[in-house]
Chains A and B, each alone.
Chain A
């Protein structure tokens, strides 16, 4: 396996972008990444998208989106793993370059959520779980995460305020992010007094519906080093799965797939969690961030809520979490999430992030599909030239 470098990144603003189409968003992000990469050619394209067939009635995204950016003849394939589509697609692109089947690969994630009436957004969520045995009974993603939150609070004594702090911190981090959907300050009481969503979760515990795209160009690290630019390489790419229905699993307070993916990633990179400078974790709901911090081993079981409350996950904290604002505040265009996480970590490792963690050397991304059926973890490494 050869070493793989990130040689180009691009991202659109995330938000309710009524004037932008799926293909507009894709073009903006991918052309930024391609212009930066200066790759001699593109050998393959992977498109991460979670729900375009339902959200916009469009499939066959590989052909559509490759053709839209002048690369109609390049093999282009759509990868779907619910809101872990981005991480899963990045991993496929990594495998292609690391294994030598391709030298230069474009991987982009895109989602256009606001063209579907909002009443259907809850239904879209049910399609990420077991439709016949969860969705059929009215169980949405919000319901699954609410039950996880209830079980977590009962098991560890975590408080409603600790969960709310995840959202408060996300908004604080997004304030300086020019791509973020929400740059307003969020007060703790606003979260804890917001309209009920699925008890104990309230409206501001959940990530928004967002339009947006993010893209990365990968290439062989050996070639990239010759250019003498600050280099970011992929030190680990790991993925694990689990039974789709939450009720089929032994635990409600952890995603075993995420634990397996994180452990595999640490082993591949030859590092442990204390070596990681900055993380982008999948905070689809506030409770998800607490699980993520524990599943990736940054805090002991039941300790993540207190850690967030104490500021240990702020930019200057021990585990700087979601400097972009995460899904909660940067936005959550489903298929683009996993790519955007790696784009932000790349900026951090280049030293060019809006919300820069000083001296960031190693960064981790954690991308979850639905309520833990898929987990993808990447570790990126910055190299000073």
Chain B
């Protein structure tokens, strides 16, 4: 038995603001939510779209040695939790760097990348990954 592991075209399309542009939701209290939530921690139900900064640093990471069906990259590949400049955290693949040179605390920036090659109905799935921020590192 095989099961569909890629998002359907409409599900993928709905996620474009987040996956293409790093769009979070900002509540009246100032809380930034990524993924966006319907209700903020203070109970507020209203929020505005909020463009996350594209630069941050690596909080934690691992190198995965197990393949996930349908993914555009073969193992081993790196994933991590990135803390952006405004303090918001997200999960992402870390790429554009040798796996043995990834370190906690390294500066990273957003990159637009292919995630899956052959999704439902043959779609190519794009999203965000993070790459070393060499400009920041040279500061």
Decide yes or no whether A248 CB sits under 8 A from chain B. yes
The tally of CB-CB contacts under 8 A between chains A and B is 108
Instruction: Name the B residues within 8 Å of A151 (CB-CB).
Output: 59-60
B: contact size bracket: 35 or more
* Interface positions of B from 23 to 57, Cβ below 8 Å from A: 33-35
Contacts known (A147-B61, A150-B104); A119 close to B67, Cβ less than 8 A: yes
Rounded to whole angstroms, the CA-CA distance of A216 and B30 in the bound complex is 47
Contacts known (A120-B2, A245-B91, A246-B91); A138 close to B79, Cβ less than 8 A: yes
Contacts known (A138-B71, A140-B64); A115 close to B1, Cβ less than 8 A: yes
Contact of A150 among B3, B35, B60, B73 (CB under 8 A): B60
Interface pair A247/B90, CB less than 8 Å apart: yes
Instruction: Name the B residues within 8 Å of A57 (CB-CB).
Output: 1
Rounded to whole angstroms, the CA-CA distance of A130 and B7 in the bound complex is 13
Interface pair B7/A198, CB less than 8 Å apart: no
Among B11, B18, B64, B69, the most chain A Cβ lie within 10 Å of the Cβ of B64
* Interface positions of A from 106 to 164, Cβ below 8 Å from B: 115-117, 119-120, 122-123, 126, 130, 132-134, 136-140, 142-143, 146-148, 150-151, 154
User: What is the total number of residues of chain A having a CB less than 8 Å from a CB of chain B?
Assistant: 40
CB of A141, distance to nearest CB on chain B (Å): 11
**Interface of A toward B, CB cutoff 8 Å:** 54, 56-57, 115-117, 119-120, 122-123, 126, 130, 132-134, 136-140, 142-143, 146-148, 150-151, 154, 195-201, 245-248, 252
Decide yes or no whether B97 CB sits under 8 A from chain A. no
Contact of A123 among B69, B80, B93, B129 (CB under 8 A): B69
Decide yes or no whether B15 CB sits under 8 A from chain A. yes
Interface pair A138/B64, CB less than 8 Å apart: yes
Interface pair B63/A140, CB less than 8 Å apart: no
Contacts known (A54-B3, A116-B1, A130-B35); A140 close to B91, Cβ less than 8 A: no
Instruction: Name the A residues within 8 Å of B93 (CB-CB).
Output: 137-138
Decide yes or no whether B111 CB sits under 8 A from chain A. no
Decide yes or no whether B19 CB sits under 8 A from chain A. yes
